[in-house]
Structure 1
Amino acid sequence: MRVIAGVRKGQALKAVPGSATRPTTDKIKEAVFQSMGPFFDGGNVLDLFAGSGSLGIEALSRGMEQAVFVDKQGKAIHTIKENLKTVRMEDRAEVFRTDAYRAIKAAAKRELIFDLILLDPPYKKVSYTKLIEEIIENNLIKNDGIIYCEHDPNDELPDQNADLTIMKKENYSNTIAVTIYRFNTQL
């Protein structure tokens, strides 16, 4: 596992020990970041269910200014901190050990708004519809912001609607699919 592009291109990253997390492959990471916009010009990223922090670190390497990493596993938090230190980006990140829904509420209280939100929860354990509704209701996503969902191909995700446009939906195997939304509020 490594950083694919940007200022830390090629930097190796550690995976979380054990089998509780499933890292996004470099091939998938490269494909999805190309479709979201290969590079960013500043902005904030929220990496919920961060695991090793690989996706959030990729976003930082590609130009995001600040990142918030959230995971509820101690091993994941330790790995994220190690990876941030390895890529010398600790000063551009906050790392929290908590549940995703608590993290959403805490971010809302701090009035944080994100340009990119990365969702890669354990498969079959989380309702993407409920999670995305919570993100929108708590005003965490910027207008024209992107919500990335990595999921089992059989998972039900929200349909395109007045607020969400599907930018990309692709199955990478019979166990991994990605859906990317753009949030457009009709104010």
Structure 2
Amino acid sequence: MRVIAGKYKGRRFHSVPGQTTRPTTDKVKEAAFHMIGPYFNGGRCLDLFAGSGSLGIEALSRGIDEAIFIDKSGKAIQTIKQNLKTLKVTEHVEVYRNDAFRALKAIHKRGLTFQLILLDPPYKKIDICLLLETITSSQLLAENGYIYCEHDVKEHLPQEINNIYQIKQHHYGDTSGITIYTRGKNK
């Protein structure tokens, strides 16, 4: 695995050992960041279901100032910490082992908002619509921010949930679908 673009471009990092995670391919990651960026002028990112931290690290490389990485797997948390250390990214990052819904509740209590929320849950194991409703009702997405959602290609997500609107959807092969949402006026 590697960073595609930005200040850490070309740097390699580790994936989570074992078969419990499904890393986002470089092709999908590159296409996704072209849809939502490709670069950022600061802001905060939430990488939920972070796995190796690949998506959040890519966001940091492309100009996001701060990132919070959340995963419920101990192996994933160890891998994220190792990858951040390898890249010498130690400031303005937080890494937590937690369930996604509990993490969202804790983040809401802190009053944080995000320019970019990255969702790459295990396919067919998480109710993505409920997750999106929780994010919107907690007002975690900043105005004009983006939610990147990777999901099973057969799963069709709604055009609109509360105050977020789908702006792009794309399928990659027979397994991966990407849906991008933004907050604000219907784009």
C-alpha deviation, 1:162, in angstroms: 6.5
2:153 match: 153
Assess if the C-alpha contact under 8 Å between 2:132 and 2:161 holds in 1: no
Q: Partners in 2 of 1:94 and 1:161 — Cα distance?
A: 28
Q: Give CA deviations for 1:67-125 in whole Å, capped at 9, x if unaligned.
A: 00000000000000001111111212100000000110000011010000000000001
The answer on 1:138 being equivalent to 2:138 is yes
2:4 match: 4
Where has structure 1 moved over 6 Å in runs of 4 or more?
none
How many pairs does the alignment contain? 186
C-alpha deviation, 1:26, in angstroms: 0.6
Instruction: Name the TM-score, length of structure 1 as normaliser.
Output: 0.96
CA gap of 1:46–1:161, structure 2 versus 1, over 3 A, is closer
| TM alignment of 1:1-187, pairs within 5 A | 1-160=1-160, 163-184=163-184
> What amino acid is aligned across from residue 124 of structure 2 in structure 1?
K
Q: Sequence identity of aligned pairs in percent?
A: 55
Assess if the C-alpha contact under 8 Å between 2:108 and 2:138 holds in 1: yes
C-alpha deviation, 1:59, in angstroms: 0.2
Assess if the C-alpha contact under 8 Å between 1:3 and 1:11 holds in 2: yes
C-alpha deviation, 1:185, in angstroms: 6.1
Assess if the C-alpha contact under 8 Å between 1:151 and 1:176 holds in 2: yes
Q: Give CA deviations for 1:47-66 in whole Å, capped at 9, x if unaligned.
A: 00000000000000000000
CA gap of 1:104–1:185, structure 2 versus 1, over 3 A, is farther
C-alpha deviation, 1:161, in angstroms: 5.6
Instruction: Name the TM-score, length of structure 2 as normaliser.
Output: 0.96
Q: Partners in 2 of 1:112 and 1:45 — Cα distance?
A: 10
Q: Give CA deviations for 1:4-23 in whole Å, capped at 9, x if unaligned.
A: 00000000010000011010
> What amino acid is aligned across from residue 157 of structure 1 in structure 2?
L
CA gap of 1:109–1:162, structure 2 versus 1, over 3 A, is closer
Q: Partners in 2 of 1:96 and 1:185 — Cα distance?
A: 32
Q: CA RMSD in A?
A: 1.3
Structure 2's unaligned 5+ residue stretches are none
Structure 1 stretch 7-16 or stretch 177-186: which is displaced more? Answer: 177-186
